[in-house]
Amino acid sequence: MLINGRNHSDETDCEYWLCNNIYTRCDGFRNCLDGKDEENCTQPIMLNHFFFCSSPQNYTQMCLPTGQVLYETVNCFGASSDEFQYFQTNKLHCSNHTKCINLEDENLCDKNQECLPYDNYEFCVDRLQLCNGYSFDDFIDMRNISCQIINTDYKSFLLETVLVYPTLQTIPTYSIKNQITDESIELPIKNIIQPDVCNYGLHMYHRVGVDNYSNLCFCPPNYYGDQCQYQNQRVSLTLVLATVDRPIVYAIIVTLMEEDNDRQEIHSYHQFTYESKTYCGRPVDIYLLYTTRGKNNSKNYSIRIDAFDKSSLTYLLSWHLTIPFIFLPVNRLSTLLTIPISRPSNFNHCNLQCYKGTCMKYHNEERFFCQCYSGWSGAQCHIPIDCSMCAPNSICTGSIQNRSICVCPQNRFGSFCRLKLMCPVGFCENNGRCVVIDERMIDESYVCFCSEQFHGSRCQYLNHRIEISLKNIDISSYLLVYIYNEISFERSIPTFTILKKMTMFQDHVILYSQEMFRMLLVKIDNRYYLAVLQEIVQSNITTLINPARRCASVDEVLNTTLVSLPRIQRLKSYHIPCQRDYNLQCFVDEFYMCLCTEEHHSNCFSLDQQLSFICDDNVYCENGGTCLQDQPICFYSIICLCNDCFFGDRCQFYAKGIGLTLDDLLRYEIRPNSTLNDQSLVVKLSTTFIMIIFLVGLINGFLSYLVFHNRDSRKVGSGIYLRISSIISILIVTMLIIKFLFVLYTYMNPLINRNILRVGCLIFEPLLRLFLNMSNWLNTCVAIERAISVLQGINFSKQRSTCIARWVCCLLPFIILGSMCYELIYRDLFDDHEEQRVWCVLQYSQSVERYTTIVQYFHFVAPCAINLFSAVYIIINIARQRTTTRTKFNYRQQLVNQINEHKQLIISSIALAVLLFPRFLISLLSTCIKTSRNPWLYLCGYFVSFIPSSFIFVIFVLPSSFYKKQFKQSLITWRQRFMRMMRQ
Count of C-beta atoms within a 10 Å radius of residue 87: 18
Q: Examine the domain organization and report whether 426 and 405 are in the same domain.
A: no
Q: Is 651 left (phi over 0), alpha (psi -120 to 50) or beta?
A: left
pLDDT score at 430: 92
Q: Examine the domain organization and report whether 369 and 458 are in the same domain.
A: no
CA 308, chain centre distance (Å): 24
Its domain, for residue 787, covers 674-973
Instruction: Give the confidence band of 784 by pLDDT, cuts at 50, 70, 90.
Output: confident
Q: Examine the domain organization and report whether 427 and 410 are in the same domain.
A: no
Whether the upstream peptide bond of residue 56 has omega within 30° of 0, thus cis, is no
SS3 (DSSP) at 378: coil
Q: Which of 129, 150, 171 is the endpoint of a domain?
A: 150
Q: Is the pLDDT of residue 178 over 50?
A: no
- The pairing of strands 586-588 and 552-553 is parallel
Which CATH number goes with the domain that contains 427? 2.10.25.10
Average pLDDT over every residue of 949-954? 80
- Is residue 216 assigned to a domain? no
DSSP letter at 954 equals I
What is the tens place of the pLDDT at every residue in 322-342? Answer: 998 888 889 999 998 888 777
- Is residue 59 assigned to a domain? yes
- Is residue 615 assigned to a domain? no
Q: Is the pLDDT of residue 156 over 80?
A: no
- Is residue 121 assigned to a domain? yes
pLDDT score at 542: 92
pLDDT score at 303: 94
pLDDT score at 117: 43
Q: Examine the domain organization and report whether 919 and 837 are in the same domain.
A: yes
Average pLDDT over every residue of 591-610? 87
Q: Is the pLDDT of residue 130 over 60?
A: no
Is there a contact between 833 and 807 (Cβ–Cβ < 8 Å)? no
Q: Which of 96, 125, 150 is the endpoint of a domain?
A: 150
What is the tens place of the pLDDT at every residue in 433-464? Answer: 888 887 776 767 888 989 889 998 899 999 99
On average, the pLDDT of the chain sits at 78
DSSP letter at 115 equals S
- Is residue 215 assigned to a domain? no
Q: Is the pLDDT of residue 44 over 60?
A: no
Q: Is the pLDDT of residue 174 over 60?
A: no
Q: What Rg, from alpha-carbon coordinates, does the chain have? A: 42
- Is residue 32 assigned to a domain? yes
Q: Which residues contact 118 (CB under 8 A, 6 or more apart)?
A: none
Q: Examine the domain organization and report whether 869 and 742 are in the same domain.
A: yes
Residue 585 to residue 491: CA distance in whole angstroms:
22
Q: Examine the domain organization and report whether 439 and 407 are in the same domain.
A: no
**Which of 85-99, 925-939, 965-979 shows the highest mean pLDDT?**
965-979
* pLDDT greater at residue 816 or residue 915: 816
Q: Examine the domain organization and report whether 716 and 747 are in the same domain.
A: yes
pTM over 0.75: no
- The pairing of strands 330-339 and 234-243 is parallel
Q: Is the pLDDT of residue 649 over 50?
A: yes
Residue 392 to residue 356: CA distance in whole angstroms:
19
Measured at the alpha carbon of residue 435, what is the angle toward residues 430 and 437, in degrees to the nearest 5? 140
Which CATH number goes with the domain that contains 321? 2.60.40.2990
List, as one string, the DSSP characters of 35-51.
-GGGTT-SS-SS-TTEE
- Is residue 74 assigned to a domain? yes
Residue 665 to residue 647: CA distance in whole angstroms:
12
Average pLDDT over every residue of 765-775? 89
CA distances from 4 to 1, 9, 563, 788 (A): 10, 13, 17, 90
Q: Cα dihedral sign for 916, 917, 919, 923? A: positive
- Least reliable range by pLDDT among 149-153, 583-587, 820-824: 149-153
- Least reliable range by pLDDT among 114-123, 147-156, 526-535, 752-761: 114-123
What percentage of residues in the chain have a pLDDT greater than 70? 76
DSSP letter at 153 equals P
Q: Which of 150, 184, 214 is the endpoint of a domain?
A: 150
Is there a contact between 37 and 31 (Cβ–Cβ < 8 Å)? yes
Which CATH number goes with the domain that contains 693? 1.20.1070.10
pLDDT score at 466: 92
What is the tens place of the pLDDT at every residue in 105-126? Answer: 555 444 444 454 444 444 444 4
- Is residue 24 assigned to a domain? yes
- Least reliable range by pLDDT among 47-51, 249-253, 423-427: 47-51
pLDDT score at 247: 76
Q: Is the pLDDT of residue 86 over 60?
A: no
Q: What's the CA dihedral at 95, 97, 101, 102 to 10 degrees?
A: 120
Task: Report the run of H or E that residue 733 belongs to, with start and end.
Answer: helix 717-748
Is there a contact between 318 and 363 (Cβ–Cβ < 8 Å)? yes
Is there a contact between 766 and 853 (Cβ–Cβ < 8 Å)? no
pLDDT score at 319: 94
List, as one string, the DSSP characters of 745-805.
HHHH-TTS-HHHHHHHHHHHHHHHHHHHHHHHHHHHHHHHHHHHHHHHGGG--HHHHHHHH
Q: One-letter amino acid identity for 40?
A: N
Task: Report the run of H or E that residue 901 belongs to, with start and end.
Answer: helix 891-901
What is the tens place of the pLDDT at every residue in 279-332? Answer: 788 899 999 999 888 888 888 899 999 999 888 888 989 999 999 888 888 999
pLDDT score at 971: 81
Average pLDDT over every residue of 955-971? 78
Pick from 437, 357, 373, 341: nearest CA to 640: 341
pLDDT score at 89: 40
Is there a contact between 92 and 69 (Cβ–Cβ < 8 Å)? no
- The pairing of strands 837-842 and 827-832 is antiparallel
What percentage of residues in the chain have a pLDDT greater than 90? 15
Is there a contact between 842 and 827 (Cβ–Cβ < 8 Å)? yes
Q: Examine the domain organization and report whether 43 and 77 are in the same domain.
A: yes
pLDDT score at 710: 76
Number of domains in the chain: 4
Measured at the alpha carbon of residue 888, what is the angle toward residues 884 and 894, in degrees to the nearest 5? 60
Average pLDDT over every residue of 699-727? 84
Average pLDDT over every residue of 766-775? 89
- Least reliable range by pLDDT among 445-459, 736-750, 850-864: 850-864
Q: Is the pLDDT of residue 600 over 50?
A: yes
Q: One-letter amino acid identity for 499?
A: L
Average pLDDT over every residue of 696-717? 84
Is there a contact between 320 and 256 (Cβ–Cβ < 8 Å)? no
Q: Which residues contact 46 (CB under 8 A, 6 or more apart)?
A: 30, 35, 38, 52, 63
Q: Examine the domain organization and report whether 409 and 432 are in the same domain.
A: no
Q: Is the pLDDT of residue 269 over 90?
A: yes
Measured at the alpha carbon of residue 826, what is the angle toward residues 821 and 831, in degrees to the nearest 5? 155
- Least reliable range by pLDDT among 39-48, 128-137, 224-233, 822-831: 128-137
Give the 3-state DSSP-derived string for 610-654, with helices as H, strands as E and coil as C. CCCCECCCCCCCCCCCEEEECCCCCCCCEEEECCCCEECCCCCEE
Q: Which residues contact 471 (CB under 8 A, 6 or more apart)?
A: 507, 544, 545, 546
pLDDT score at 753: 86
Q: Examine the domain organization and report whether 237 and 94 are in the same domain.
A: no
Q: Examine the domain organization and report whether 116 and 131 are in the same domain.
A: yes
Q: Examine the domain organization and report whether 267 and 127 are in the same domain.
A: no
pLDDT score at 2: 65
